[in-house]
Every structure is written in C-alpha cells, then in structure tokens.
Structure 1
Amino acid sequence: MRERASKLHVVSLSGGKDSTATALMAIELHGREACRFVFADTGNEHEATYAYALDYLPQALDITVDVVKADFTEEFATKRANLARISAGEPESAVYGKRKFMYAWTPETAALALELLVPIGNPFLDLCMLKGGFPSRKRQFCTQYLKRNPITEYQMDLVDRGYLVESWQGVRANESDARRWLPHYEILSADMAIYRPILRWEVADVFEAHRVAGILPNPLYKQGMNRVGCMPCINCSKSELAQIARRFPQHIERIAAWERLVSRVCRPRSPVSFFHKGTQGHSGQASTIEHIVQWAKTSRGGRQFSLLSDLEEPSACSSAYGLCE
C-alpha cells in the first residue's frame, strides 16, 4: 500500500481581500510549509493586482505563489481545422453535423476568421476568440476555464505526487445567492477536499484580518473598486465601471481592441460586446465598451448625463469599504 505524504492546504490566491484573508488563516493554523498558494492568471487583471499578488504578498507573508495559466493550443487547432474545411468549400453541416446555428459561416467569412484565429497567449482573450464572444452572468465560462480548471490541474498534480490536498477557497456566503448554501467543508475523494474557512464572515471581518496581520489590502480597494479579480469584471457595477473609465482608461481601450478582434473571428452578424445588453442595467441598442462607459457616466436610469463627468478628477481615495477613514 502506497504511503501518503502529509496534507497540503492549497489556497487559491487572487489578490483580492477574501483570498488574502484565507491565506492569512491558513498560515496561522498550519504554517507556511504545509501550505501552497496558487494564482490563476486570467490575462484580464489590473497591473496593481499582479504586483499585489505576485510581489507584495510573497514578500510580506514570506511565501511562494505559484502561477497557473490556461492554455488553449489544442482547442485552437481544432477550430482552425474546422474553419479550414469550411473555407475550402465544405458545407458547415458536414463539419458540425446536425448542430444548428443562428448565423452560418460561408467560405469567405471562414477564410477571414481563419487568418486571425491564432492564439495570442492571453488566456481571457484566447478563450473569447474560441467561444466567439465574451462571457456573461448567465454564461460565465471565464471562471471555469481560466480559474477553476487550471487550479484543479495544479491540485491534481499534487495528488499524483502523493499528497492529500485540501483546497482552501476564500468565498463568503453573503456575496451571492449561489454561495449562500455552500458547505464549509466538502470531501471530494480520498485524496481531495474543499474548505471554505471564511464562508460566514462579514466584509469587516476580512479587513480586520488584514489589519491584525499588518497586511495592506489591494490598493484598488481605495480606488473605487468593489472587486479586483478582473479589470474590468463582466459583473462590475455601473459606478465601478465609471471609476475604471476615469482612473484606468487604458483598460477600457484594451477591451475595445479585444471587442474588435473577437468580432472578426466569430460567426458573421453575431453581436460581440464585452458587456451583454441588459447585464449592467444598460438597455440601449449599442453595447460596445465605449457605449457602456458613456452610459455609466449617467444618472436617473441613464437619462441624465453629467457634462462634468469627464472633467472631474477622481478623488485620491474612494472606498466602498470605508478604507479611507
């Protein structure tokens, strides 16, 4: 019978407040040697989050943070092969069988898409190119492919090396209805379990854990951000998007460039926008990132636009969590 190595407590570290508090608890309870810390690089993070998760926390906590990234090389090869068959004149029904699509490829449009459909190396953008569009609240495939799958592969590698893996997840029940009924502890197999140590914490408890440990929170929380997982996140609020546009316009420009690229490799006439219409409360006809940003600067249900919004300098500190006091 194979002898088991000791248990490893694997903390999914995102650079956000909850995962940092989870890392602090893991270190306090089990020590650094019994823990592993892993960061899933989605390719859609703010530079401050990269610096916080990969530079500040490793130094402040004296830990090593392993980085995982999704790779879609095989998926690109498959999709390129399918498009090549269509561009050569083979009917789409012969390529995809009985599957029905609202919009059809033609040899001409397939050839144009094939020219641009090459992996960029940015996981988020590559995934959206493959999917022919961006994730949404109802179809939030980004979490699965960019975070859950790479981290699971990382953990399974530890299992294959003989470790018992306890996956520590920094989620809180009051963040969403979906998380409200999650259990504190789940046994997945003889080799792996999930532990959610801060599930019943309030947000004040999270920042108190930072304070007690002498750890600064991600600086983005003082710059109007409610969440720091992606920049921007498809679920960000109207006010948060307005803050992003004012403080970090380069990230809006990046998303606009992504929209243009993805639209050229997806099915003809397919609507392509980072924010799906209605997702943020926006109900206008155009939903490109530029249109959504303009709407985010309005009040009264989008009917009143502030002429001063583009002229106003964002305050030095703006926190939804009272961190500026």
Structure 2
Amino acid sequence: MTDINVISISGGKDSTAMWLLALERDTPNLKVVFSDVGHEHPETYEYIDYLEKELGPITRIKPDFSQQILRKREVVDTKWRNEGVSETIIQQALEVLHPTGNPFLDLCMWKGRFPSTMARFCTVELKVRPMFDKVYVPIFGTGNHVVSWQGIRANESLSRSKMAETEETPEGYTIYRPILNWDVYDVFKQHDKHGIKPNPLYKQGMGRVGCMPCINSKKEELYEIARRFPEEIERVARWEEIVSKASKRGSATFFTSNDRGHGIHDVVEWSKTTYGGVQYDLLKLMEEVPMCSSQYGLCE
C-alpha cells in the first residue's frame, strides 16, 4: 500500500504555503486538487493557473447538485401544497429549480438558503464530500492510502487550536496538518522563500480569498469588496433573488442580521459605518481607493 499525499488548494495563502512545504520536502506521490465552488473571484482562478504554471499540475474538480435539485422539484410539486405552502411560492420555486452548473448557487437553491456561521454546510458540500467522492475513493480503489494535507493553523480559532497535527479518520484516511503551529507571517515568508507571489487579492484588503464574499467576511473586508469589486456584490444580489424563489419561506439572504439589515446591499451599507453601525464613516467614504490595503503588511 502506497501513501498518496493529497493537498487541497484554494488559491489562498495557507494552502499555497503548504504545497510549497511539500515540494521543499520532496514529498512523493503528491496530488494537488482545486475544488471549484463557483463563488471565487476571477483573480483567484487566474492565481490557480499561475500556481499550476510555477509549481506543477493541479487536478480540478467541480461539485454537482443536479440530482438534488431535480429531487427537490419533485418534492415542491408533490408535497409543498399539503404543507400549506402558497401556490405563488410553489410556482416561483418550480420556475428557478433548474441546475445552473454553478456549484455554490445550485447548492443554495437545493437547500433553499445560504450557508451561515451557524450552518456552514458549504464546507462539507463544496469541499469535503466532493474531495472524498472524486479523489479519495478512486485512490482507495487502487488499494492505496490517502494522507490528506490540511492548511489549518492553530492561531486561527479556538477550535483549531485544539486540533492535532496528525489524526486517523473512521473513513480510513490520515489527516496531516503540517503548518498547524505556523503564524500568518510564517506563511508569507514561505511564499517569499520560494519566489511565489501571494494571491493579489491580499493586497486589496482581503483577509480570505476563497469565496467572494465569504459568510465569515469581516466589516472592513466587505467594504473593500464592495468598493473594489461591485460586480461581485451585484452577483450575490442576483443570487439572493434566485434562492429566495427556491425557498419555502420565499426569502433568502446571504447575510442576515437585525443589526446590519437584510440582504447584501443592506450589509454593504452597514460596512460603510463607524463602530456601532449607526453613522457613516465619512473619512472612510472620502478616501480614494488605495492601490494596496493589505491586512498583512504586504504593501511595499
């Protein structure tokens, strides 16, 4: 039995540093995988291409929720009326419940809602499960063993600080977290050491560069997204309309908070305010968009 070292990359700083570490160690039987969730910024897709050119081949996978959406159509058409759902909502749902080919949007239509900090089904459905089904299972089928490299760092959260560097899973593969004890500066030093540029979005105010925006985006990050990439906000607004129609409640928003309002445009307005969310931050609004606004000190 041979160990196949599988590295999942997102185009972000941690997974890139982890890949560089694996190459530095001459790690054998390396398989690098990118799961395209359909919610990344165009610059991240370009960065994935850059990494492939500089570092080596990347296997691209794409989650597919076509069957789940088709099953939901059947449920909507045969069961929602008996549950007291209005005919208007039923017809709206049937109108939009067709696979689009965009994994993130299709997932949300199937669920009838967007993921949230309390229900982070996005990670499992868009990353973990497709990786297992499309990558790990075929490796198991050849009689080999999977070592799953994860770019998790202990100082990112309390839950991650409790994770072990290595653990075995009930499914029969090994999880390995080689940069668990690194800090963010170690991560960028690894890029510099190997002459690899970090994702350019980190110089444009982004704290994370996977989903654009992520459900965990902080206030300042959302503000930067809105002023630099308004087209990303408009895309999410269109998705809110579509997912609302696919929802039994007839409503679905990317962010939901009584303090920040409801819907992506409301939350963007909140991102323009001072602490407390009541008054606009006039200094912030008067500022020209800087060439670089890195959270990590990457500006030259």
Give the TM-score category using the shorter length. over 0.9
Q: Is the 8 A contact 2:37 2:126 kept in 1?
A: yes
Distance 1:305 1:105 in 2: 40
Does the C-alpha gap of structure 1 residues 189 and 269 become closer, same or farther in structure 2, counting only changes over 3 Å? closer
RMSD: 1.7
Distance 1:172 1:45 in 2: 22
Instruction: Report the Cα offset of residue 107 of structure 1.
Output: 3.6
Q: 1:140 aligns with which of 105, 111, 120?
A: 120
Tell me, yes or no, if structure 1 residue 180 matches structure 2 residue 176.
no
Letter in 1 for 2:51: L
Letter in 2 for 1:20: T
Tell me, yes or no, if structure 1 residue 85 matches structure 2 residue 78.
yes
1:115-149 per-residue CA deviation (whole Å, 9 max, x = no partner) reads 21111111111111111111110101111100111
Letter in 2 for 1:48: E
Tell me, yes or no, if structure 1 residue 35 matches structure 2 residue 43.
no
Distance 2:299 2:116 in 1: 32
Specify the alignment match of 1:131 in structure 2: 111
Moved over 6 A (4+): none
Q: 2:63 aligns with which of 64, 67, 70?
A: 70
Specify the alignment match of 1:212 in structure 2: 193
SS of the counterpart of 1:304? Answer: coil
Tell me, yes or no, if structure 1 residue 222 matches structure 2 residue 203.
yes
Q: Where do 5+ consecutive residues of structure 1 fail to align?
A: 93-103
Distance 1:138 1:196 in 2: 25
Q: 2:256 aligns with which of 259, 262, 276?
A: 276
Matches within 5 A, 1:242-257: 242-257=223-238
Distance 1:161 1:309 in 2: 57
Letter in 2 for 1:72: F
Distance 1:254 1:82 in 2: 28
Distance 2:220 2:88 in 1: 42
Specify the alignment match of 2:271 in structure 1: 296
Does the C-alpha gap of structure 1 residues 299 and 108 become closer, same or farther in structure 2, counting only changes over 3 Å? closer
SS of the counterpart of 1:313? Answer: coil
Letter in 1 for 2:292: C
Instruction: Report the Cα offset of residue 86 of structure 1.
Output: 3.9
Q: Is the 8 A contact 1:12 1:169 kept in 2?
A: yes
SS of the counterpart of 1:11? Answer: strand
Query: TM-score under structure 1 normalisation?
Result: 0.88
Instruction: Report the Cα offset of residue 43 of structure 1.
Output: 0.6
Letter in 2 for 1:249: P
SS of the counterpart of 1:30? Answer: coil
Distance 2:74 2:189 in 1: 53
SS of the counterpart of 2:188? Answer: helix
Q: 2:45 aligns with which of 30, 50, 65?
A: 50
Specify the alignment match of 1:267 in structure 2: 248
1:179-210 per-residue CA deviation (whole Å, 9 max, x = no partner) reads 11111001226952110000011111111111
Q: Where do 5+ consecutive residues of structure 2 fail to align?
A: none
Task: Count matched residues.
Answer: 299
1:202-230 per-residue CA deviation (whole Å, 9 max, x = no partner) reads 11111111111111111111110011111
Distance 2:232 2:65 in 1: 23
Tell me, yes or no, if structure 1 residue 59 matches structure 2 residue 39.
no
Sequence identity (%): 47
1:237-259 per-residue CA deviation (whole Å, 9 max, x = no partner) reads 00000000110000000000000
Letter in 1 for 2:35: A
Query: TM-score under structure 2 normalisation?
Result: 0.95
Distance 1:269 1:249 in 2: 26
Q: Is the 8 A contact 2:89 2:250 kept in 1?
A: no
SS of the counterpart of 2:292? Answer: coil
Distance 2:170 2:82 in 1: 45
Mark the structure with the bigger radius of gyration. 1
